[in-house]
Structure 1
Amino acid sequence: MTAEPLHLLAQYENAFNTNDADAMNALFWDDCTFVNFSGALVTDRSELLAKQRFVFAAGGPLHNISVRYGHEATVPLAPTVVQIVARQRTRDGIDPMHGVLILTAEKRNTEWRIRLGQNTPVSTG
């Protein structure tokens, strides 16, 4: 198992911090599933893109929010499937975005993309 799929985490962080919904969406397979920070379930890439565009748009809840993802674990599940676990923290010191991001990456042919993802809030109390 190589660290190759870890590039997805860095690209995800960059897309988040530049509010680039299209770049973030390109990291996912068409048949992806994602549970966002507020618990909403999306079951395909086009639905996910609509939600990503909404949250990153001017005035959206994530517009101009900057986060960092601290890699905590990579768990091989199969030769072409790994789970990437990261801690999400807001960069400005105020931490309304503290969470755990779990990305299940799948390799198809020679390309790694996200097949499943979940962003779970972490209580600060």
Structure 2
Amino acid sequence: MKAAFSEDHQYFLQDLKNKQALWQQYTILLTTVLTPINRERQLFRVLLSANGDAHFKQQLWKLVADEIDTRVDLYNAPFTDKLPRHYALVMNVDGLIGLIEAWLNNPHPESVEHFSQILTASQLIAPLNLLEEN
């Protein structure tokens, strides 16, 4: 995963001004990261389960949090002060990992490519935008 993230950072700097290209690149990165996870679905399901490996979960959480911090620096766009930074980071990391867990546990999972698009969209849509007005 770290290698995929590092490689993506090269493109990240080039695409920063072009948001559509940036999100396309993010989807490609997620596809690269999710492909080996998909190949070892059962192993990842066990590792991330309630009785799984707590150390693995902590390592994964730290890896994702570090990557978000790196991207915040590359964007040169710090977290807003509307929510304390720590909570914003927890919301983002737990959201991403939670969606991956749900995908791993889905008996009829989306393809890696489709799920990568879902994860990308999850980073763009605020929680209230998911609610329809009556």
TM-score normalised over the length of structure 2: 0.27
Kindly name which structure, 1 or 2, has the bigger radius of gyration based on alpha carbons. 2
- Higher normalized strand content (fraction of residues): 1
- Structure with the larger RCO, 1 or 2 (CA within 8 Å, 6+ apart): 2
TM-score normalised over the length of structure 1: 0.28
- Higher normalized helix content (fraction of residues): 2
